[in-house]
Chain A
Amino acid sequence: MKKIGLLISVFTLVLFSCNKEEEITCQSDFDKKAMLANYSNSLIIPRYETLEKNLTSLYTKINVFISSNSLSDFNALNASFDSTYLSWQGVSYFQFGPAETYVIKSVFNIFPVDTTKINNNISSGSYILGSASNTDAIGLPALDYLLHKGSSETLSFNYFTGTNSANKKQYLLDLVNQLSSTLSSVLNQWNTSYKSIFNNSDGTSQGSSLSNIVNALNLDFEKFIRDGKVGVPLGVRSLGTPLPEKSEAYFGGKSTELCKESILKLKSYFKGGSGQGLDDYLIQLDAKHGSQLLATKINNQFDLIISKINALSSPIAEEVIANQANVQDLYDEMQRMVVLLKVDLSSALSILITYQDNDGD
């Protein structure tokens, strides 16, 4: 009898303590390590591997074009480049751990490029792509420039049949080699020692995986997405004067597609793909934005941003001149998202944003 009484009261206690309105909820039930393992196994490593496949294919297509010199192989090369640039969008905010060691973002996607420097490198045929003096002459933006030297695909193709053709083609190969070898170093660490470090570091202090994830995605969203893809071309940092030449993929005109892919992939990352993600953790913590669940608010904001991107009818470089108001709308919604990510998300997860430069010098 006594035992049943005890059982009933224990059962009641359990029920009572899992009531969502109680201050102490079941937040300790959320398996953070499982979420981290989902991030590394289903999102981070696979996305890097997709990028790696695309780079390998791109390298092959460059070599095919070099031997055939045919327009159709040049077109295939361009298509492969577009896929590669798209697959970079989904990994840009993994800038921690191995990505930070090899500063992969500075190798892959620094724009705008210094076109004079690229041309001089090609003329001389002698350069060290990894050197500090070439940081604006490499990466996907350099490929974007070289593959779109003309106003049409045929004219761009002609660039490679003119003078110095061997140097030009060699530069393409060297650029892709640099990307592949950097990515390979990063992936290798993820596939060996770093994954288990990442999966097991389930705290919230600086250097923990959650801190790395949140800080890196905030930095990327604020600086590279909101400002780099939209704000700077729009003129937000130049007293309102649009700077179209500073937009991503300026020469190939794919900035709108790349921006959209970046946001779609970021939303999926936030949701943990089809597994446990930050949004699930926020729901478990019952994090709120006003009366709404913060996870819902953030997901809705992603959708709103995508709808603003869909309202752009041409590359961002053209839109900032022709339809400035639409780009301003997009920027404004991205700015609202910065607040949600940098203030609401970080405090709900007890993560300190650490990337503001406080160098006292």
Chain B
Amino acid sequence: MLKRMIIAITASSIMMASCKKDEPVIECTETTTEVNLPATYNFDNVCYSGQTARLDMLAEMTAELKKANAGTQVDSALLMKMFSNTGSPFADAALNTSGKQLRSKTYSSVGANNVQYFEYLIKRQGDISQNAGNTWSSGNAGVATSGTKKYFFDENGVEYTQLIEKGLMGAVFYYNVAEVYTRAGKIGASVDNTTVTPGEGTDMEHHWDEAFGYFGAPIDYSTSNTTDARYHAKYAQKGDAAGLGTISNVMTQFIKGRYGISNKDYGMRDAAATDLREEYELVLATTAIHYLNSGKSNFSDDALRNHALSEAYAFIFSLAYNADKKISTADLNTVKGYFEVTAGPATVPSFLTVTVADINAAIDKLSTVYGLDSVKATL
């Protein structure tokens, strides 16, 4: 404790000594960054087991959802139990006793696809997958095949497995990073950054680590070391492959934020929080364009097209889970709109009448907003 305080005091003395009185703290922050940032997320007391548990839970849910691809009806009651971790629903016993769940961490307010939406999707997948033994055609739910790949779609060509899996990645993982753990409520002035809990760090450190846990990256994630990357971290490889430095961009902000917190450099912490949201958002945007490209190049193959567009649609609507999102709500609705139809009072996703021009319009809008014109064709 004393050692830590001395380090902290020494650090601030150095900072004070190297900062001119009138200069904003930020300048010192930048100098410190260049010299001292670790290359990996290697800090004391890092723990995010709760987040890892939730990633594992989503994996078991996805396995259940994908039974429809093999022609089997999906058990939506089981999925609902998995969603809220009630009644020991998981094959991995440790998850059942983890005390964690996905449902309570899912975005639950208005203005974006929320927890009720996902419950509706889960129940619907259970219902319509009674047709999983049928062959898909326009207007008829069933399985479409391309080579060895089989996907179950609803009557509109939409793969609910993707909406649920990729959607929950957005509504739980991305949402918690962008709206919870990088915000004042979790890393602001009212949050303790002094009392170290062994194995967990201070409250502020721990909250930032939880954000890192949701990303799905190993602590030494880089372009040359990608094994064990999961979920959004894995999708950072799309932008990385196009030369955008996506992996490094996100990892640097995570490292910077944790370093700033641990060294009580709150200017660095806050800059990292802002930049992290931007870089993470780019992971979603680049992945959306990647799947739109895939939907286009496979346009005449029902299975591959609908699968790709389902993924794209889920990554697109995930952009909403960030109050500071770069795309405007109006533009986001426009992009989603290319892949939706009205059904009575509701709007539902549908790929039956989509055209190549629609897909290109969606790509172009996303690319313009996120500055990706130079790579949009290769994503």
Contact = CB atoms under 8 A, between A and B. Distances in A.
A103 B358 CA distance: 12
A359 interface: yes
24 contacts: A101-B360, A101-B377, A103-B299, A106-B299, A106-B300, A106-B356, A107-B356, A128-B355, A130-B355, A130-B356, A130-B357, A131-B352, A132-B157, A132-B299, A132-B302, A132-B306, A133-B352, A135-B300, A135-B302, A136-B300, A206-B378, A207-B378, A361-B162, A361-B311
A230 to B, nearest CB: 17
A169 to B, nearest CB: 24
A361 B378 CA distance: 19
Contacts of A303: none
Interface residues of B, number: 25
A100 B296 CA distance: 8
Given A106-B300, A206-B378, A132 B355 contact: yes
Given A100-B297, A110-B300, A359-B294, A132 B351 contact: yes
Interface string A161-200: 0000000000000000000000000000000000000000
A24 B314 CA distance: 52
Contacts of A136: 300
Contacts of B294: 359
Interface in A102-140: 102-103, 106-107, 110, 128, 130-133, 135-136
- Chain A interface residue number, banded: 20 to 34
A131 B354 contact: yes
Contacts of B354: 131-132
A360 B227 CA distance: 13
A148 B356 CA distance: 29
B311 A103 contact: no
B59 to A, nearest CB: 12
Interface of B: 138, 157, 162, 234, 241, 294, 296-297, 299-300, 302, 305-307, 311, 351-357, 360, 377-378
Contacts, number: 52
Nearest to B234: A360
Nearest to B354: A132
Dominant secondary structure of chain A at its interface with chain B: loop
A180 B300 CA distance: 19
Contacts of B311: 361
A207 B299 contact: no
B233 to A, nearest CB: 12
A207 B377 contact: yes
Nearest to B306: A132
A292 to B, nearest CB: 34
A226 to B, nearest CB: 15
A97 B377 CA distance: 8
B145 to A, nearest CB: 12
Contacts of B297: 100, 103
Contacts of A100: 296-297, 377
Nearest to A129: B355
A302 B352 CA distance: 41
A128 B300 contact: no
Contacts of A132: 157, 299, 302, 305-306, 351-355
A110 B352 CA distance: 18
Contacts of A106: 299-300, 356
Nearest to A110: B300
Interface in A79-110: 97, 100-103, 106-107, 110
Interface string A325-361: 0000000000000000000000000000000000111
Q: Which 10 A-B pairs rank lowest in CB-CB distance, beginning with the nearest?
A: A135-B300, A130-B355, A106-B300, A110-B300, A133-B138, A106-B299, A131-B353, A207-B378, A132-B354, A133-B352
Contacts of A102: 356, 360
B96 to A, nearest CB: 27
A333 B138 CA distance: 39
A207 B241 CA distance: 11
Nearest to A139: B300
Contacts of B307: 361
Nearest to B166: A361
A130 B307 CA distance: 19
A59 B351 CA distance: 31
